[in-house]
Amino acid sequence: MIRVSIVGASGYSGVYLIRALSSRPDVSISVITSNSNAGKKLSDFFPLFAKTFPKNSLLSKIKFSLFDADLIGGSSDAVFFCLPHNESSKLIPAVLKKNKDVKIIDIGADFRFDDVSVYERNYGRHNAPELNGGFVYGLSDVFYDKIKNSQFIANPGCYPTGALLPILPLVFKGCVDFSFPVIIDSMSGISGAGRGLKLQNLFCEIENSAKAYNVWTHRHLPEIKEKIEKACKLTPDVIFTPHVIPVSRGILTTVYLKLNKDSTMENIAGIYESFYSGSPFVSILNNIEDCNIKNVVYTNNCHIAFEIREENAAGSAGLMVKIVSAIDNLGKGASLQAIQNMNLMFGLEPDFGIPQYSPYP
């Protein structure tokens, strides 16, 4: 039995972890924390859990508690941190002091960067830089071998997940001509902004609308850029524009790349199929119009499709590819990828206990 605690369990990613883990026979949820809802019963705060669990079971009675490092460290084999940036790095050292062997999966941003100075330029002072080098970037379908042998995982951001899954295989195989910038446009459902009350996220503000935001300053850009630079050992230009659309969940990403001249539809398709042949979650579709949010919401799946044509790019003729990816920002972009990482860390199959099918229609 894997004993699990969830720190910051009343947000969207936290409650989705509870929902996904509660049905697993091999997992016991020990502690769920929420500073703002401490003492409240889970099923009272989230009625979706009313009568979900067997009467008198632990989860039928479980309440949110305040953070207690000794309690969490002493009753957990794995701890998920679902907190805003700069918060988990304050708390993780205390949990490790109680239990030096506990596995940590941080869904926040605190340990996603190899270079702490890049983190600090974008998020502020790091609270535990001494731990940063021990974290593996948890893009599960790419770095699974490293994840299997790691105690600490930094779960990727939702936008970086949707962008890097289609980009990295082509970068690793040397297919990308970086004389042209890497261009990424992403559209996200409103749940990506979290549960906090914000004027711009009210129904009357977003209904029947769509908008770009933080077009030069979004904090996921340096995360995407660092991982591409590490893969290609260059410093290419990366342009990222996020958009919010009036759906509750899902991210649709379009990537524009210039390819090396010997690339073809067939060899690009072959690269993707080979790269993700061991992944139960990443699918390469034949028709780019089939790559849509509706087919992946409530799952850990990523759908990828692409088209290639000759274009005049960056002032010279070249082969361009447009790649579309679709993920669920709360699933593949957060909680379900975190569970995939937990599975790998405990030697389980990556898809064990993770929903595979979207509730279509």
Q: Counting beta carbons within 10 angstroms of the beta carbon of residue 155, is it exposed (0 to 12), middle (13 to 18) or buried (19 or more)?
A: buried
Structure tokens at 194: 């979290």
CA nearest 245: which of 197, 205, 198? 205
Distance CA 251, CA 327 (A): 5
CB 31 within 8 Å of CB 71? yes
CB 112 within 8 Å of CB 89? no
CB 216 within 8 Å of CB 225? no
Which residues participate in catalysis according to the annotation? 158
Q: What angle do CA 253, 258, 260 make, to 5 degrees?
A: 135
Is the peptide bond prior to 361 cis by the omega test (within 30 degrees of 0)?
A: yes
Structure tokens at 356: 């595979």
